[in-house]
Amino acid sequence: MADQSKSAPRRGPMAGGPVGGVVEKPHDLVGTLRRLLGYIGRHKVAVLAGILFAIGSVVFNVVGPKVLGQVTTKLYEGLVAKVQGTGEVDFVWIGRTLAILLGIYLASSLCSLIQGWLMTGVTQKVVYRMRREISEKIARVPLSYFSEHSKGDVLSRITNDVDTLGQSLNQSITQLITSVAQIVGITAMMLSISLPLTGVTLLTLPVSVVVVGIMVHFSQKYFREQQEVLGRVNGIVEEDFAGQGVIQVFDRSDASVEEFERENDRLFTSGWRSQFLSGLMMPLMTLVGNLGYVGVVVVGARLALAGMATPGDIQSFIQYVRNFTQPIQQLANVSNTLQSMSAATERVFEFLAAPEEDDPVAPQLPAAREGRVEFDHVRFGYEATKPIIRDLTFMAEPGQTVAIVGPTGAGKTTLIKLAQRFYDVDAGAIRVDGVDVRDWRRADLRAEFAMVLQDTWLFSGSIRENIRYGRPNATDEEVEAAARAARCDRFIHTLAGGYDFQINEGGTNLSQGQRQLVTIARAVLANRPALILDEATSNVDTRTEELIQRAMDELMRGRTSFVIAHRLSTIKAADVILVLRDGDIVEQGTHEELLVKNGFYAELYNSQFADNE
C-alpha cells in the first residue's frame, strides 16, 4: 500500500452560505477594512497626493468664512461710522477682499477636483486588481469547491459584491479624507476666533460619536444579512433559468415563485432594516447640529454684548458651526457606506481565501507519456466516515480500452475524478505512467487526458472555435481533420456558415447528437495519451448512438481509454470490463468472459437485452 502520508486532509461539511433562516454573525469590520487598506497601500503616491490636495481644498475652504467675517465687520464698522458722521464704508477694500475670497474658493474647487480624480483612479485600480485576483482564483479553486457552494452565491460574490465594493470605496474614501481634514481645519479656525464658542461647538462631538456608534452597532448585521440573502436569491434565479423546462413540465412554477418570494421577502426585510437604521443617522445628526447652533447663538450674543466678539466673528462662527456639523454628518453617511462595503468585501475576501489546489514544487514527471494508469488499493469517500471506494486495485495498460460499469452510485465517475486529481485519495495511490498523481503538477496531469462527458459543454462562438478549444494553436486544417474523424464534418457543412456557424449559449441551436460529436472532435484534436468517455451516448437515440460510437472508436484507437457506460452494448469490444458495486470491483474480464461467469455483469446485461435476444 502506498504511503498514506500523502493523503488529502479530511474534508469538512459543506461550507456554503446558510440555506435556512440562520444568518452568520457579522465579521470584524475593522479587520476587513485593515485588509482592504493593504490593497489601497499599493498606490501610496496617488493616495498621499490625494490627501495633500484634500487638505489644500479644506484649507482654502475653511479660510473663506473668516475672510467673509472680516468683510462683514468692515462693512458694519463703516456703516456705523457713516451714521455717526465719522467716516465712510471702504468699498475698495471690501471689493479687493471679496476678489481674494473668490480666488480662494476657486483654488479650493480646483484642489477638490484633482483630489477626486486621483482617488477615483485609486479605487478603480483596487477594484481592477480584485477582479483579476478573483479571475485567477477561479482557476486555482478545486472543482470540489463549486460542488459544495451554491453557484448563485459564488456568482453574487464575484459580481454584485465587487460592484458594491467599487461604488462604495469610490464614495467613502474621498469623503472620509475630506471630512476628517475639514473637521481638523474648521476646529483650528474656530479656536482662532473664540475659545468659548469652540467649546460650545465641541460639546456636540461626543453626542455625535454616540449616535453613530449606536446606529453602526444595530445596522451592521442587517447589511451582512442583506448581502448573504442576495446571494441566495441569485442562486434561485440561476437555477430557475437553467431548469425552466423541467419546472414547466412538472407544473412547479407556483412553487418556484413561492420559494423566490420567500427569500425575496427576507431580502426586503434585511434591506429595509439596514437602510432604515442607517437613514436615522442624518436626522439625528441634524438635530445634534441644530443644538450646536442654539448654543453658539446664545453664547455668541452674550460675548458680543460684552464686547468680546465682533459681528463678523459671530457670522463666521455660525458658518463654521454649519461646516463643522456637515462633515460629521458625512462621516455618519460614510459609516453606512463602510458597513455595506465591509459586508461585500468580507464575502469577496472569503472567496479569495478559499482553499486552492496544491502542486509539488519540483514535480516528478515520467520520462515517457504512454497513458498507463494504475489504481493501487485506493480508498476514498467524499465524507471521511462514508467511503465510496474501499479497496480498489487495477491496471490500465497503454492503448487498452477499460470499460467501467455498475449500478448508479457504485463509484464509476468518482474513479475518473480521482485519476485527474479533482480529489485526493484517502489511502492507497493512483499512478499515471508510474508516477503518483500527487507528484504531478495538476495542469500536466490533466493534459494527459481528453474527456467526452454526458453533459456536453459548448460556449457561445463558432463551431471552429469550440473544436479548437481542445488545442488552441491548431490550424484550420487540423480542426477540420478532427471534425472528419469525429464524423461531424458532414452535418457542419449543412449549417449556415459551416465551421463559422455561431453556436448560441448552451448550444441549444444544435441537436444533442450534434453537440456530442463536436465535443468528440474537440477530444480528437487534443490528441492526448488517455481518454475518458463518461456516458457519452446516454442522451441520444440508437441511430445517433451508432454514429457517435463509430466516432469514438476512431478516437480511442491507440489511446488508453476509460469508458463509463450504462448501455452495455457500447462496451462489448472493450479489452477489459470492470464491474463495480459499492465501490469495489466485483468482476473483471472481457464481455464474453463475464457472460460465461453468469455473475453480476451477466445480470446487468441480461436485464437490458434479454427481451431482444
pLDDT at 539: 58
The stretch 475-488 carries a mean pLDDT of 89
Q: At residue 597, does pLDDT exceed 50?
A: yes
CA–CA distances in Å: residue 501 to residues 462, 463, 498, 507, 547: 5, 6, 5, 11, 22
Q: At residue 464, does pLDDT exceed 90?
A: yes
In CATH, what is the architecture of 373-612?
A: 3-Layer(aba) Sandwich (3.40)
Q: What are phi and psi of 491, to 5 degrees?
A: -70, -25
Is 1.10.580.10 the CATH classification of the domain at 29-352?
no
Q: Does 36 or 555 have the greater pLDDT score?
A: 36
> Global pTM?
0.62
Q: At residue 388, does pLDDT exceed 50?
A: yes
Q: At residue 271, does pLDDT exceed 80?
A: yes
What are the tens digits of pLDDT across the range 396-451?
A: 888 888 888 888 777 788 888 888 888 888 899 999 888 888 888 888 888 888 88
Reported as a pLDDT band with limits 50, 70 and 90, residue 3 is very low
CA-atom Rg of the chain in angstroms? 36
What are the tens digits of pLDDT across the range 211-247?
A: 777 777 777 677 778 877 887 887 788 777 767 767 7
Q: At residue 506, does pLDDT exceed 50?
A: yes
pLDDT at 500: 93
Which stretch of 17-21, 521-525, 547-551 has the lowest confidence by average pLDDT? Answer: 17-21
Q: Where are the domains of the chain?
A: 29-352, 373-612
Q: Which residues of 80-93 are buried (b: 16+ CB within 10 A; e: fewer)?
A: eeeeeeeeebeeee
Name which of 468, 531, 520, 471 is nearest 499 in CA terms: 468
Q: At residue 14, does pLDDT exceed 50?
A: no
pLDDT at 20: 32
Reported as a pLDDT band with limits 50, 70 and 90, residue 475 is very high
The stretch 562-591 carries a mean pLDDT of 82
Q: How far apart are the first and last CA of the chain?
A: 44
3-state SS record for 228-282: HHHHHHHHHHHHHHHCHHHHHHCCCHHHHHHHHHHHHHHHHHHHHHHHHHHHCHH
pLDDT at 50: 86
54's grid cell = 484634500
pLDDT at 245: 67
What are the tens digits of pLDDT across the range 330-384?
A: 776 777 677 778 888 888 888 888 888 777 766 667 766 778 888 999 888 887 7
Residue 275 carries which side chain, given as an amino acid letter? Q
Please name every residue paired with 589 in a beta bridge, in sequence order, or none if there are none. 577
What are the tens digits of pLDDT across the range 95-144?
A: 888 899 899 989 999 998 998 888 888 888 888 888 888 888 887 888 77
pLDDT at 28: 66
| Percent helix / strand / coil, the chain, rounded to 5 | 65, 10, 25
Name which of 53, 182, 173 is nearest 110 in CA terms: 53
Mean pLDDT estimate for the chain:
79
Q: What is the DSSP letter of 386?
A: B
What are the tens digits of pLDDT across the range 291-319?
A: 777 787 788 778 877 778 777 777 777 77
Reported as a pLDDT band with limits 50, 70 and 90, residue 249 is low
pLDDT at 13: 31
CB 190 within 8 A of CB 201: yes
Q: Does 14 or 494 have the greater pLDDT score?
A: 494
pLDDT at 544: 66
State the CB neighbour count (10 A cutoff) for residue 358: 12
What are the tens digits of pLDDT across the range 145-192?
A: 877 777 777 777 888 888 888 888 877 777 887 888 888 888 888 888
For the chain, give the percent of residues with pLDDT over 90.
6
Name which of 341, 205, 222 is nearest 277 in CA terms: 222
Q: At residue 56, does pLDDT exceed 70?
A: yes
Q: Does 27 or 461 have the greater pLDDT score?
A: 461
pLDDT at 465: 92
Which stretch of 22-26, 186-190, 502-506 has the lowest confidence by average pLDDT? Answer: 22-26
Q: Does 216 or 522 have the greater pLDDT score?
A: 522
Reported as a pLDDT band with limits 50, 70 and 90, residue 17 is very low
